[in-house]
């Protein structure tokens, strides 16, 4: 079998590794350079409890995503020769006022019931765990198994491991459309007019997944949700656990860089860093770690979270074109969900039953009207 993957971000690369490991011939098409979009911009939480707002299908997928990641990370490190810096520092989710504290208590309740691992901490206990934390915190939830990676290294690890298994990556290769015959997809057409034939096409084009021509009848809208990150240079080990509040997040890398994020904005494909974004991020970051105000600023960037109309991932077969699978719409959780997405797509390609029920994530939901669109403003 020959599989053609559109998009060389973390999702396309993870799929390439799993398919190539199964002996599938794989070609990944990346219109620009590999791994330079959302997968580069992220902060890298592998944090199902930090990312889910309610119990249900997404939380279950996120938990399964963490388990899948834990299962592959050693093998991936070995096969790729790249350490993705999987730090076993948990997440400390803090409250600054009564409403936020009530929200954390509610979160603790449903997460415990749904299988999450957490501890409710007093401010004193939270400060013991993270001495840089603001003394204005009035309550905290510790999620000790919500860890983090260096997502740029992780993306490169999937790419390297896929290369070792024989996958081909083509940079500067934009896919324009799916080539079909009466039975379904037979390949892809590139922007320069050339074609490549294959038995299976996988749309892993992130925020651009809706732009591939030939899939219009699937009626799936993908759009970019901009995030902005401020990055500081600090002493390694300064912050400890990743710090999360209703307003933002702080994550430290092994080399000392502190990443502060983020905002959720609909700004089209405009990847600018803005004064408003920087102001909101710095306000939330200073509230979490007041001493950040005098730590050396290094750089800022923005990236696009790939969203679908109901803000859930889109995983599985196209309802209108046979031999096309979607692996897109991972929104704010594509790093966390990278391993399980590779696993699911490899299972579907091989005719194996995936380990989770894919019905809630089926691409067909937009065409058959069962998707429940969610506005970004209502989600936050």
Residues of the shown chain interacting with ligand FAD in the complex, contacts defined by CB under 6 A = 6-12, 29-32, 36-39, 41-45, 174-175, 204-208, 212, 227, 229, 261-262, 303-306, 328, 330-336
Report the nearest approach of ligand FAD to the CB of residue 63 (Å): 13
Structural tokens at position 337 = 């969900």
Closest CB to ligand FAD among residues 118, 263: 263
Structural tokens at position 305 = 């979270």
Closest CB to ligand FAD among residues 206, 360: 206
Report the nearest approach of ligand FAD to the CB of residue 40 (Å): 7
Burial class of residue 291 (count of CB atoms within 10 Å of its CB; 0-12, 13-18, 19+): exposed
Report the nearest approach of ligand FAD to the CB of residue 299 (Å): 13
Report the nearest approach of ligand FAD to the CB of residue 139 (Å): 23
Closest CB to ligand FAD among residues 11, 202: 11
Residue given tokens 């599938």 in the structure block:
24
Report the nearest approach of ligand FAD to the CB of residue 213 (Å): 9
Report the nearest approach of ligand FAD to the CB of residue 262 (Å): 5
* Cβ-based neighbours of 330, under 8 Å, separated by 6 or more: 11, 206, 305, 306, 313, 337, 341
Residue 18's φ and ψ, nearest 5 degrees, are -70, -40
Report the nearest approach of ligand FAD to the CB of residue 10 (Å): 5
**Angstrom distances, CA of residue 333 to CA of 39, 84, 85, 365:** 10, 17, 18, 20
Structural tokens at position 248 = 């933002």
Closest CB to ligand FAD among residues 32, 359: 32
Name the strand (E) or helix (H) holding 6. Answer: strand 2-6
DSSP-derived secondary structure letter, 352: P
SS3 of 226-257? EEEEEEEECCCCCCCCEEECCCCEEEECCCCC
Closest CB to ligand FAD among residues 101, 332: 332
Radius of gyration over alpha carbons of the chain, in Å?
A: 20
Closest CB to ligand FAD among residues 36, 117: 36
Report the nearest approach of ligand FAD to the CB of residue 124 (Å): 28
Closest CB to ligand FAD among residues 48, 317: 48
**Angstrom distances, CA of residue 228 to CA of 225, 282, 314:** 10, 10, 24
Closest CB to ligand FAD among residues 46, 371: 46
């Amino acid at each position: 079998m020959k599989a053609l993957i559109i998009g060389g971000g973390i999702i396309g690369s993870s799929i390439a590794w799993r398919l190539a490991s199964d002996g599938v011939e794989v070609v990944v098409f990346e219109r620009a350079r590999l791994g330079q979009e959302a997968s580069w911009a992220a902060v890298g939480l592998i944090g199902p409890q930090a990312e889910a707002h309610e119990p249900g299908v997404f939380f279950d997928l996120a938990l399964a995503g963490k388990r899948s990641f834990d299962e592959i990370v050693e093998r991936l490190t070995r096969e790729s020769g790249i350490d993705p810096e999987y730090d076993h520092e948990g997440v400390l989710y803090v409250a600054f006022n009564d409403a936020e504290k009530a929200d954390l208590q509610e979160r603790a309740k449903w997460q415990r019931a749904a299988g999450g691992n957490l501890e409710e901490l007093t401010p004193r206990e939270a400060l013991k765990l993270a001495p840089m934390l603001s003394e204005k915190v009035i309550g905290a939830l510790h999620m000790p198994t919500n860890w983090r990676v260096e997502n740029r290294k992780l993306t490169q690890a999937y790419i390297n491991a896929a290369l070792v298994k024989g996958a081909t990556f083509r940079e500067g290769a934009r896919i324009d459309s799916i080539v079909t015959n009466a039975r379904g997809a037979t390949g892809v057409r590139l922007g320069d007019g050339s074609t490549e034939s294959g038995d299976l096409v996988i749309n892993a084009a992130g925020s651009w997944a809706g732009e591939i021509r030939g899939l219009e009848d699937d009626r799936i809208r993908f759009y970019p949700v901009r995030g902005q990150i401020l990055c500081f240079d600090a002493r390694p080990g300064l912050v400890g656990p990743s710090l999360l509040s209703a307003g933002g997040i702080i994550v430290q890398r092994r080399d000392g860089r502190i990443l502060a994020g983020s905002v959720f904005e609909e700004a089209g494909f405009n990847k600018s860093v803005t004064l408003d974004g920087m102001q909101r991020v710095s306000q939330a970051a200073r509230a979490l770690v007041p001493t950040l105000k005098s730590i050396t600023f290094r750089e800022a960037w923005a990236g696009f979270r790939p969203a679908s109309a109901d803000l859930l991932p889109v995983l599985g077969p196209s309802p209108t074109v046979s031999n096309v699978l979607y692996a897109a719409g991972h929104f704010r959780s594509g790093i966390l969900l990278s391993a399980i997405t590779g696993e699911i797509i490899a299972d579907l390609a091989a005719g194996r039953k995936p380990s989770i029920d894919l019905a809630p994530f089926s691409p067909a939901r937009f065409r058959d009207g069962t998707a429940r669109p969610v506005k970004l403003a209502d989600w936050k």
